[in-house]
Structure 1
């Protein structure tokens, strides 16, 4: 059984998000939405706040609305778009299977993910006017 690389896993997650974002408005008919558990309990948004809204907006072609809800959706969309052909080429044998990441590479990816989460959280705090007002 072939293992999937981190970008392939992110792309697979992005594909599931795109499918859910396409189906969600039809299933709910716009009558209800999923609340953010952290924001509901504490009033503080999480770094992923707005991703559902952003995913639905990007699927509908509303790029400005997607950016306003959570700009991280564009990174997920880019990885998803790039991953599809990568998986097909690897399945066809045109590309070698992924190599495991080294410990320094995993550490670097962890730092990048942490910085992206922090930037997203700061964006959400600013967008939702949470925290001290200057």
Structure 2
């Protein structure tokens, strides 16, 4: 799997999203992506209780620990590389988390317009 160029939505070098917990499709702390990343885990978002509840309700429980995957579960304030479509859905539901634009991969723009990402800038 070859990574796409590490460029953010602002045209600069992709910044680190989060290392505690380690996030990203490649679990390298960045919202890097590639052709195999069908979910486009490209939006660097800061978790909120409201977003985590929505995600759990929609079937993607990010808050429950899963020790078998070395996953402690996310809590409000944790940065995480979200699927672009889930971020857009949360925006449409009125509970999108804050976004770190410098750490959001430019491929997110294939799903989420820049002006929507900017509305939720951290």
For Structure 1 versus Structure 2, the TM-score category normalised by the shorter chain is: under 0.3
TM-score, normalization by structure 2:
0.28
Q: Larger % of helix: which? A: 1
Q: Larger % of strand: which? A: 2
**Structure possessing the higher radius of gyration over alpha carbons:** 1
